[in-house]
Structure 1
Amino acid sequence: MNHVRPWTQRPPEVAALLNPAYCALLLRAAVDGYVKEAEAPFPFPLLPFPLPLSLHAPTRSSLPKTVRTKMHVWVQEHPEAKILFATRARTLTPYFREGLIFAMAQEILAVDANGGIAQGAKKLRRPPVLKGGDAEAGLEAALFVGRWLARAGDLRSVFIAWGVRP
């Protein structure tokens, strides 16, 4: 099981990029994209997908430019994105959990009556510190991933395409 190091033991780059507030913003961006595209809550089993897809720079930069690109076709055409996806997802799990707990506690995300993930009560503005660079690119990618997941088909198809299990 992966454990998160205490803040004092984290390298500054890891602490900055994988801090709970930023991970919460990435999750919220993905939920915003999904809700906009599907007009439905984000399925909880898909919630771990946005971080490994939006934080990994080579994957992020190779994502399609439009959500009309079928996810399963893109994954087949980009095997390099799929090869270490499961490893990245597993490695990011503790940070995902921290971000999700932060998002729920700060009302950035909420769980609806059916167990779906919805936008929380808190209205968000993009912090000025995130303008430009990797931080903003990650947010834009997370929004795209949310929209893309909304069009990707059923949950089983998404998991099969990426070679992972819930």
Structure 2
Amino acid sequence: MVLHRSTRLALPRSTTTHLATWLSRNAVLHAGFAARAKEAAPTIKEGLRFGLRQGVLTLEAGALIGSIGRARNPELRELLTSARLVGRWLAKIDQPSTIFAILGVEP
């Protein structure tokens, strides 16, 4: 979600807005999400593998933990801030299947 600049810029400031509510308010972004996710999946998978191999990412109790320090690059800082928000947002939803259904994607 955060790699797509238009989506990232439209994210709410906090997780008090429910994901489904935000998606209904941003129908154009939601409409293209499944195609963007499918297209980005191979690159994201490779990035995850690279991060795990380099020790920048670790898996702890089923959670992906990043150990990136303070980002100096403004765009990277924006990406990390947005990723934190989306991570907290998705963690509020009990079942991954609910997230997939809300976003309109298949696992």
Bin the TM-score by the shorter chain: 0.7 to 0.9
1:23-102 to 2 correspondence within 5 Å? 53-102=1-50
The alignment status of 1:126 with 2:66, answered yes or no, reads no
Structure showing greater radius of gyration is 1
Deviation of residue 105 (structure 1)?
0.4
> Is the Cα contact below 8 Å between 1:71 and 1:152 reproduced in 2?
no
Q: Percent identity?
A: 33
The alignment status of 1:146 with 2:92, answered yes or no, reads no
Deviations 1:95-147 (A, max 9, x none): 1011111111012223346xx13326xx431243x1x2x33211211111111
Q: Which runs of 5+ in 2 are unaligned?
A: none
Deviates most, 134-143 or 104-113: 104-113
Separation of aligned partners in 2, 1:143 and 1:69: 15
> Is the Cα contact below 8 Å between 1:55 and 1:138 reproduced in 2?
yes
> Is the Cα contact below 8 Å between 2:100 and 2:106 reproduced in 1?
yes
Deviations 1:6-46 (A, max 9, x none): xxxxxxxxxxxxxxxxxxxxxxxxxxxxxxxxxxxxxxxxx
Among candidates 76, 85, 96, match of residue 135 of structure 1: 76
Separation of aligned partners in 1, 2:64 and 2:77: 22
- TM-score, normalised relative to structure 1: 0.58
> Is the Cα contact below 8 Å between 2:71 and 2:77 reproduced in 1?
no
**Size of the alignment, in residue pairs?**
107
Q: Which runs of 5+ in 1 are unaligned?
A: 1-52
